[in-house]
Amino acid sequence: MPLRIQRIANLEKELELAKRENELKDQIIKIKDMEILAQARAIQDLKDISDRAIKLAETAKPSSNWQLMGLLGVAALVWGRS
C-alpha cells in the first residue's frame, strides 16, 4: 500500500509541474506577443519619422539640412531601441 500511495503522490507532483510549465509557457507567449507589438509600433514610428524626413528633404531649403539630420538621428535612435 505505501508504494501505491507514493506513486500517486509522484503522479500528482508531475501533474502539478506540468500544469506550472504550461502556465509559464503561456506567460512567455504573452511576453513575446507584447514584444512583437512593441517592435511593430517602433517600425511604424520609424516609418513615420522617415516619411517626415523625406518630405522635409523634398520641401526644405538647403540651409535646413540640420533639421533633416536631426530627424534621421531620431529615426536611428528609435530603430536602435527596437
Whose CA is closest to 79, among 54, 56, 49, 57? Answer: 49
DSSP label of 69: H
What is the rounded distance in angstroms from the CA atom of residue 29 to the CA atom of residue 5? 36
Model-wide pTM > 0.75: no
pLDDT tens digits, one per residue of 12-71 = 999 999 999 999 999 999 999 999 999 999 888 888 888 888 888 777 655 556 666 777
Domain map of the chain by residue range? 2-81
- The C-alpha cell at 15 is 501533474
